Amino acid sequence: MKPAAAHGLLLSSLCLALCCRGGARGSPTSDSHEWKKLIMVHHWPVTVCKEVEKDCRDPPDYWTIHGLWPDRAEECNGSWPFHFEEIKDLLPEMKVYWPDVIHPLNHSHFWKHEWEKHGTCAAQLDALNSQKKYFGGSLGLYEKLELNSILQKLGIKPSLNYYQISDIKDALASMYGVVPKVQCLPPKQGEEVQTIGQIELCFTKDLRLRNCTEPGELGESGRAWGPGLEVCEDGPAFYPPPPQSTR
Ligand code: 5GP
């Protein structure tokens, strides 16, 4: 299938994916928490472990969900606490696709954090206005985006050889039809290159794919989304294999 056709198909199925999940609750909007785009943040578990300098025993060998984040808004409703009960039907998928990579024995603290920091802002949208809809909708977007199989198809696999960041961005842009954002850990002392950590794909408020940065818009160079992660510099980058396959 040509990329443009794949893009059209993707858009309609992404909307469908959101419409079919979750139950509703009133919208907790606040004018001081305005945002324009939603960012679907995928992270590479091997890099998450490296970032926090934790020797994770068995990190997933696929891209998992970090979160679904509105831009420019955080912690929009402190009086809407996380209730695990509301998403317990989603537990099997959550554990696989949205695990706490750092604390794999207790995921719910991470989910609580994501809900309170980002979900309460995303919940301004009718399609995401409950915990079940926010987490279920995020899972739906993740499944429809199929980042893991798209990277596979593009031949972009963890490797001891380096990739050019522009090659990865261009390849993803041709598949999705929009400009993604790729975040890296800058090289630590003694390292030659940056390490790929996050791939972000962005959505409009009506849940259509859009560019993460518009042509001519300045990238958010230097802006850290997590400790140590920054927009990747153009140039070579390491996409680290999971520990067992580095042998
Ligand atoms: P945010 O707080 O905006 O959701 O994301 C940034 C934070 O998430 C950073 O502090 C980063 O270390 C943390 N983080 C990234 N991945 C994980 C994870 O899998 N589990 C936990 N507990 N924290 C994570």
29 in any annotated domain: no
Using DSSP, state whether 100 is helix, strand or coil.
coil
Taking a C-beta distance cutoff of 8 angstroms, is the pair 211, 179 a contact?
Answer: yes
Ligand 1 centre from 237 Cα, in Å? 21
5 in any annotated domain: no
196 in any annotated domain: yes
Using DSSP, state whether 195 is helix, strand or coil.
strand
Give me the domain span that covers residue 100: 38-215+224-238
Ligand 1 centre from 12 Cα, in Å? 30
Average pLDDT (44-73) is: 94
Q: What whole-number distance in Å separates Cα of residue 195 and Cα of residue 185?
A: 5
> Residues 148-203: pLDDT tens digits?
999 999 999 999 999 999 999 999 999 999 999 999 999 999 999 999 999 999 99
**For a substitution probing ligand 1, which of 53, 66, 103 has the most ligand atoms within 8 Å of its CB?**
66
Query: What residue owns the CA closest to ligand 1's atom 10?
Result: 226
Burial group, residue 218, by CB count within 10 angstroms (0-12, 13-18, 19+): exposed
48 in any annotated domain: yes
For residue 214, what pLDDT is reported?
Answer: 78
Residue 52 pLDDT exceeds 80: yes
Average pLDDT (134-161) is: 98
> Residues 102-125: pLDDT tens digits?
999 999 999 999 999 999 999 999
Percent with pLDDT over 70 in the chain: 80
84 in any annotated domain: yes
56 in any annotated domain: yes
- Sign, Cα dihedral of 83, 85, 86, 91: positive
Ligand 1 centre from 68 Cα, in Å? 12
For residue 23, what pLDDT is reported?
Answer: 39
Q: What whole-number distance in Å separates Cα of residue 167 and Cα of residue 156?
A: 10
> Which has the closest alpha carbon to 161: 183, 197, 193, 190?
193
49 in any annotated domain: yes
For residue 246, what pLDDT is reported?
Answer: 45
What CATH number is given to the structural domain containing 115? 3.90.730.10
pTM: 0.87
17 in any annotated domain: no
Domain count, the chain: 1
